């Protein structure tokens, strides 16, 4: 009788460990649920909304497309390692239950510029390679931010901005985001 109970417990523990291992592999390499924290992507995304992030492009360091909504590590001078990719899903799970546990360095933003692009900010608009961007997704009103000269996006980086331009900390302030700091693309 005791052996049967021990065996049953062992089988349950074994199944739980296998299920957790599979879930971690899926969340590290393929898909990860996450939650919006803040108002920087209004009107596209709102505080508290749930997202699904595709991680495949992050694993292969693929450059995202213009207009893609991505999850970034805002610590652009920090050297990311594989350990960061393994630990971040754990923080993400815990943040589902308590938003205070959410990491403050993981942001959701939109890709505005790619390697080699020349970006300028004036007249309430973003200019890419000399042409004003048509951005129907941004929050209404002119962008308050302007800057003398142009920003040239370095090789291996992208320039990301929030849709709520007057209330977003983004590449205008932290600089271009290295491709290894693009943690995934929002797909839902």
- pLDDT tens for 15-36 read 988 888 887 777 777 777 777 8
Q: Whole-model pTM? A: 0.80
Cβ atoms within 10 Å, residue 181: 25
Mean pLDDT of 130-158: 89
Q: How confident is the model at residue 106 (pLDDT cuts 50, 70, 90)?
A: confident
pLDDT tens column, 30-78: 777 777 888 888 898 888 888 888 888 777 778 899 999 998 988 888 8
User: Which CATH code for domain 2-186?
Assistant: 2.10.109.10
Residue in 55, 109, 114, 185 annotated catalytic: 109
Sorted by where each begins, the domain ranges of the chain are 2-186
Active site residue 15: no
Active site residue 74: no
């Amino acid at each position: 009788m005791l052996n049967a109970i021990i065996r049953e417990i062992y089988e349950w523990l074994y199944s739980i460990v296998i299920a957790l291992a599979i879930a971690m592999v899926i969340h590290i390499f393929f898909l990860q649920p996450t939650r919006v924290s803040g108002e920087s992507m209004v009107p596209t995304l709102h505080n508290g909304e749930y997202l699904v992030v595709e991680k495949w492009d992050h694993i292969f360091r693929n450059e995202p497309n213009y207009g893609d909504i991505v999850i970034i590590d805002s610590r652009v001078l920090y050297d990311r390692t594989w350990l960061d990719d393994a630990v971040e899903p754990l923080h993400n799970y815990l943040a589902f239950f308590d938003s205070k546990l959410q990491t403050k360095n993981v942001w959701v933003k939109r890709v505005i510029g790619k390697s080699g692009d020349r970006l300028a900010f004036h007249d309430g608009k973003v200019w890419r390679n000399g042409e004003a961007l048509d951005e129907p997704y941004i929050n209404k009103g002119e962008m308050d931010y302007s800057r003398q000269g142009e920003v040239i996006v370095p090789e291996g980086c992208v320039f990301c901005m929030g849709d709520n331009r007057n209330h977003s900390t983004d590449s205008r302030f932290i600089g271009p985001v290295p491709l290894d700091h693009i943690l995934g693309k929002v797909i839902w």
